[in-house]
Structures are given as structure tokens and as C-alpha cells.
Structure 1
Amino acid sequence: MAVADWLAALDRRAELRAKAGLTRRLHPRAAADGVVDLAGNDYLGLAAHPEVVAAAAQALAAYGLGATGSRLIRGSTEVHHTLEETLADWLGTDRALVFSSGYLANLGAVRALVRPRTLLISDAHNHASLIDGCRISGAETVVTPHADVAAVAAALAAAPGRPAVVVTESVFSVDGDLAPLARLHATAREHGALLLVDDAHALGVVGPDGAGAVAEAGLTGEPDVVVTATLSKALGGAGGVVAGPAEFVRHLVETARTFIYDTALPPVVAAGVQAAVGLARSGAGLRAELAERAAHAVGRLRAAGLDVSAADAAVVSITAPSPEAATAWATACRDRGVAVGCFRPPSTPDSRSRLRLTVSAGVPRADFEHALEVIVECAP
């Protein structure tokens, strides 16, 4: 194919996406743009907390901007190891391993859990990183209906004697509902399977001392549970973590391509996240405020006649009539100084488009109330 033909084909695909209301655009923001942020994932308002910024600044002065290499070459610093020990202690696991993103952590974790003949059982609403992890692993994958424990049990029963891994988010990233983790774990254990839980949207938000939904479900330290999470949501930073048995983390260090061949998380970020973990662990008041705001948002939006998800954590999802309507709704909100998430296929696990609100305890209460009014007034 000639270059001109290739570029023309890309233009045609863009036109088809535009007709379907699926065009995506970047919207650069200034450092202080004055927008009420219900789109970002800074649940506890820690990204710009003075203690977090101070810790990052100190690491920046000591180490410079980047890690300068992969973790196995020159990229491991004392900051990384301290953070991993802190995360393992918080999550109640033997060990934890920090990756440069939550996406890479999930890819590495899923691949490392696969052995010959392994069956992966993946929830239909799982995040793209888990879906891609299943695909890249090359293992047979059964996609089960959302949060359907009976379907998981049936899939496991249909593959007796095979190694298996049940793969799920804890708080699902699109609708914000909570997976039935205790029942999933009991079902997995009954069939000798492992359970992989992406706790990204729960870490810092739910559970004892904010240790996440795995801890809330009473599964802390279980040897057949592996936990992943991003450090970019409630902790306000970047990076990802995989936590679990020491033997599994050793296996990741020695075999995970997304760990071995990737430049390490910058020490400046690791230091900021370390400070954020301390604030999150002691942030019971922040979590209580977050839960109250999420419940209030659901009540206010439902009272306005909108189709709103339950708020099991801090994600609130509102159904839009169409991709075009979702885009127009989000744009109208942004024009009035309120940032909301706009989720359309293929970013949604079904055919529905949504606005997604990520509630933050760091937004002033008056601004939060104003933002809810704007969302209602701009509704299609």
C-alpha cells in the first residue's frame, strides 16, 4: 500500500468514528485553570498536598528528574524499596513491586500468573489493561457476565484439573460498582483457582485504613490472592503496584517483561506517593467525606430524573442517550467550568455512553454542589 493510500484509509476511519460520535480530542489544561474537577482521579485531594509536594521536591533535588534506567540496571533507588515495603505493609501482603504504570502492572501480573493450560476467567466489565493482559498472555480466556459468580463457578467447573485465574476489578472503573470479592474468592478456592484483583479505584478509598476492597472483603494476605493497583488515583501520583506472596513477586522481578525492560518510575514520583500513602492511611475523615459526597451526588442526580449508578466507592456513572449526547453534555459542562468524564464505546463494556464523575474530597464543598447543579442543567 502506498503511503497516500494508507493515510487516506486512516482519514476514512476517522470519518466513520466521527459519524458514530466517537471522535476523541485532547484538551490541554493550565496548571490553575479554575475548573471544578469531577473528571480526574485525585479522590482524596493528595496530588497537590503540601507534604506530597515537599517529599517530591526533596527527591527531585536528590535524584533528578528520572530514574535513568530499568529497575534491574540503575533504576532501583532507596525510595522505590521504601515505597514497596510500605505498600506491602498497607496491603497486608508478603511483598509488593512497583511498576511505572498501573497498566504495565496489570499486563505483567496477568502474564506471570499464566502456566501451560491456564484458563483465565475475566469479568465482562474489566479494565482494558486486564483485557490486554489476558490477550497478551496467550492463555484461553473465558469472559463471564458482569459480577456473575455463578458464571465464574460454571466456567471453573467446566475445566477440572486445569490451572485457572479469576480476573476482576474490585471497584469497576466505568460504573463504580463493587465486585463480590468474598464470593469470588470462595468460588476460586473451591476449584483451586487463583484470584487477581485490580484494586485501583478502591485503594485509599475503602477498607480499613484505606487498604482497599480486598482488605474490606477480609482477604488480606490470602496466599491465593494477587492484588494490583495504580498509584495515580487516590494517591495522586503515577505508577502501579503488584502485591502478593513473596514467591510471586520474585517471579515478577525475574520474568515480567513490563518490569524488566521498562524504565523505572521516577524517584520523584515514588517519594511523593510514599508521602501520599501516609496521608491516605490516616485519612479516615477524608474517606468519610468522600462516601458522603458520593451518596449525595447519586441522590441529587436521581432526583433530577437521571439514570445514575450506585456509588460503592467514589465513581458515579450517568447514562447518556447516545455518544453524541454524551459528548455534547460533557462539553456544555466544561464550558460552564465543570470537568466530567465522557465515556463512549469502545471505552464502555456495553453499548451505553456515560458521563463519569469521580468524586473528590479535595474539591471545595460549594464548588462540588455547584458542579452537580451544572450537570443537571446541562443534561440532554
Structure 2
Amino acid sequence: MLFDDLEHALAELDRTRLRRRRRVLDSPAGPRVTVDGRQLLSFCGNDYLGLAADSDLVLALAEGARQWGAGSAASHLLGGHLRPHEALEQRLAAFLGMPRALTFATGYMANLAVAPALVGRGDEIFADRLNHASLIDAALLSRAGHRRYPHNDWAALERLLAASTARRKLILTDGVFSMDGDVAPLDRLFALAERFDAWLVVDDAHGFGVLGAQGRGVLSHFGLPASPRLVLMGTLGKAAGVGGAFVAGDERVIEWLISRARSYIFSTAAPPALAAALQKSVDLIEAGDDRRRQLQDLITRLREGLAPLAAQRGWRLADSATAIQPVIVGDNRSALELSAHLERQGIWVPAIRPPTVPEGSSRLRISLSAAHGAADVDALLAALRTMPPTQPETAH
């Protein structure tokens, strides 16, 4: 019975073109990857600065492993907090201009740590409707009231906050939204947090390393002042090129997370070699203005080429000025067919479908890196122009 249900459920995923399948790469991450014995020009990853295969970073990782071994062997609180972990946290805090930082093995774990530690029953979380799945799960785990406001609609958020009688309030948002590439109005959200005495928790997974002065992220991008009510999460496997995540904020917030954040307390610390490499990564980010300029030039080139093509084909471009450039085509079949057409041309761009994005907004998610060149963007645009027209998928 149980397996019959699973078989039927899997068949339904196939019918609706929603089953996920992994691809195996036989090459390091980068603009060109080898998949199934074939080299493809990739616009898949989140390696925004091209650091994942950077030779200096690879050497730092190898040296970290030689000096500190392969694993941490314990949780941070039970003997697994090694000197590279401590040095990385201090480096991140100084780079961000925050009192303290706390590192995690993954961004998902970092997000699961914060909201449930800061609010609970009788409190309320006010969350953007397009927040990442980890933020949604964190809100549910907190057991606080979960109020969702329309995407980036700070006026609607203001009304919800004004009507709330909760003792503690927490505004929860992505900084850069991972499927649309647009940026939250953090200046407005911070003003509301100040006015209504709320926490403002920001997931900066896709802004850290790319936006703001020297890549300091979305808080720097908006010029927000240091505030005890600001809590910042950032991942270290995207623009930073390695892996893991951090939470940065007030000294008291970090101390509270160390004692009360379950995903921190009950997890083995990441390998110390990763922390050693990430110290080098922060150096490269800080000195990476040339990389960020290259990335911005590619974003402009791509958008200028996509605009007339989208108008001709009936596609919609998201209002994004970041490295994430979605081409929204609508139904699942059209997105999959467009992705397959590009792969036949030697270009890999993933099709993103529900539940990752809302129904009717399936898309190609084009992700740019400073390691791409202008010729790569031109090749992608040329391949998109050769896509035959398709008929929209009809419901059955």
C-alpha cells in the first residue's frame, strides 16, 4: 500500500512534468562543465564571482586540510570549534561591520536557527510571500503566528504590523530573491522594524559578495546603519565559492543562538579546512571590484539582448538587476522544452517549475558569473533566438 501510493505519486509528477532529476558533473564548477561526457556552457550555478575553482582558494583549502585535518569531529559546543572557525567568524564580523558572526554548515541550517530562537508562541512573524523554503520552514518551526505579505509590498506589511498585538514581532525576508533576482526594499523594511519595535532578519544568500561596498551585501547596498534589531544570514557556497553560512548581528543575539539555536547546537561543525579557505575567500571578495564590474557588464549585456526577444516570444523578464536573470515562459512543458533546446545547442540553463516557483510561472533561471565572458552571453542569446515557437500547455 505504501509503495503503491509512492508509485502513483511519482507517476503524477511525471504526468505534470514536475519530477526532479539530478545530473552528474565530471568537472569542477565553472562556466564550462562536463555532463554525461559532453562539455556544456553552464548558466546554472551561483558562483557569482567565479571563485569556486579559483587557484588561490583551492590552495587555501588544501593547506587548511593539511594543517587541520579532514573533519571537526564534534559539534561546536563539544570540542568541534577549531581555531579556523573562530578566525573566520571574527573575519566575517569585521568585514560586515557587525559585532559578531556565527558560522553554520549550510544556509538552510542557519535560517532554521534564527527565527525559532528569537520568537515563539504568542509572537508573530511577517514574511514575504516569495521567501526561500528555509525561511518558510523556520517560521513554521518557531510556532509563532506566520503572516505573509505580498511580495515586496512594504505598505501591506505596514498594515499587518499596525494591526498586530503580538509581544514580539519579526520581519523575515530574502535580500535578493533566488528565483526572481529582485531585491527586497530593505530601507523601507528597516524603517518599519524601527517604528514597530520588530526584528528584521535578512537572508542575504545571493547578495553577499556581490552587492554593496566591496561585496558586503544588501545591508551595505542600502546603506543601513548598524542596529541591534538587524540579523543577517549569508551563505558561503555562492559568491564565496566554498560552502557553509553565517549569521551576523548583535553580541546578545549571537550569544542567544549559541545557547538556543537547535540546528547549531546539535550539528557537527563543518570541516576546519573549509573555514580556513573561507578566510581567503573573504579577502578575494573584498578585493573583487573588478569581478563585480565584469558581472555587472554581463548582466547589462544579457538584459539588453533578452528584452526584444522576450517581447517577440511572449516571455516575461523579471525586474532584476542582479546575477539571477529569469525568463518566465509560463507552463512546465514550455520551460522544459526551452531548456532542452538550449542543451542541444551546448548550453545548460535549468528549467524551474512549481513548487519552487508559483503555478503558471515556470521559467529558465539564467545565472551569470564573473567567470563568463561576453562571448558566452552572446552564445546564449543566439541559441535562444533559434528556439521554435511552442504552443502553451493545456490542462488535462
Question: What does residue 178 of structure 2 align with?
Answer: 173
Q: Deviations over 1:49-75 (max 9, x none)?
A: 111001000011122222222111232
Question: What does residue 338 of structure 2 align with?
Answer: 329
Instruction: Give the TM-score, by structure 2 length.
Output: 0.92
Q: Hey, what's the Cα distance between the residues in 1 that align with 2:42 and 2:278?
A: 21
SS of the aligned residue for 1:304 comes to: helix
Map 1:123-134 → 2, pairs under 5 A: 123-134=128-139
Q: Hey, what's the Cα distance between the residues in 1 that align with 2:341 and 2:72?
A: 41
Change (3 A) 1:153 1:316: same
Contact 1:36 1:338 in 2 (8 A): yes
> Which deviates the most, 92-101 or 154-163?
154-163
1:116 Cα offset (Å):
4.3
Equivalent of residue 23 in structure 2, options 27, 30, 34: 27
Are positions 1:351 and 2:360 aligned together? yes
Are positions 1:279 and 2:279 aligned together? no
Question: What does residue 394 of structure 2 align with?
Answer: none
SS of the aligned residue for 2:316 comes to: coil
Q: Deviations over 1:132-154 (max 9, x none)?
A: 10011111100100000011111
Are positions 1:311 and 2:320 aligned together? yes
Q: Deviations over 1:67-93 (max 9, x none)?
A: 222111232111111111111111111
Equivalent of residue 221 in structure 1, options 216, 220, 226: 226
- Any stretches of 5+ residues in structure 2 without a counterpart? 28-32, 391-396
SS of the aligned residue for 2:79 comes to: helix
TM superposition outliers: structure 1 runs of 4+ over 6 Å: none
Question: What does residue 85 of structure 2 align with?
Answer: 80
Q: Hey, what's the Cα distance between the residues in 2 that align with 1:259 and 1:279?
A: 27
Map 1:232-271 → 2, pairs under 5 A: 232-271=237-276
1:299 Cα offset (Å):
1.4
- Any stretches of 5+ residues in structure 1 without a counterpart? none
Number of residue pairs matched?
A: 376
Question: Which gives a bigger RCO, structure 1 or 2 (Cα 8 Å, sep 6+)?
Answer: 1
Question: What does residue 2 of structure 2 align with?
Answer: 6
Are positions 1:148 and 2:134 aligned together? no
1:376 Cα offset (Å):
3.5
Amino acid in structure 2 at the alignment position of 1:366: A
Map 1:295-310 → 2, pairs under 5 A: 295-305=300-310, 306-310=315-319
Are positions 1:139 and 2:135 aligned together? no
Amino acid in structure 2 at the alignment position of 1:181: L
Question: What does residue 119 of structure 1 align with?
Answer: 124
Contact 1:294 1:311 in 2 (8 A): no
Question: What does residue 91 of structure 1 align with?
Answer: 96
Change (3 A) 1:330 1:48: same
Aligned alpha-carbon RMSD (Å): 1.4
1:235 Cα offset (Å):
0.5
Contact 1:91 1:220 in 2 (8 A): no
Question: What does residue 76 of structure 2 align with?
Answer: 71
Change (3 A) 1:376 1:311: farther
Question: What does residue 366 of structure 1 align with?
Answer: 375
Question: What does residue 203 of structure 1 align with?
Answer: 208
Contact 1:342 1:356 in 2 (8 A): yes
Q: Hey, what's the Cα distance between the residues in 1 that align with 2:7 and 2:203?
A: 36
1:109 Cα offset (Å):
1.0
Q: Hey, what's the Cα distance between the residues in 1 that align with 2:88 and 2:142?
A: 28
1:125 Cα offset (Å):
0.6
1:333 Cα offset (Å):
1.7
Contact 1:95 1:249 in 2 (8 A): yes
Instruction: Give the TM-score, by structure 1 length.
Output: 0.95
Amino acid in structure 2 at the alignment position of 1:326: A
1:201 Cα offset (Å):
0.6
Change (3 A) 1:165 1:376: farther
Contact 2:121 2:143 in 1 (8 A): no
Contact 1:171 1:312 in 2 (8 A): no
Contact 1:153 1:188 in 2 (8 A): no
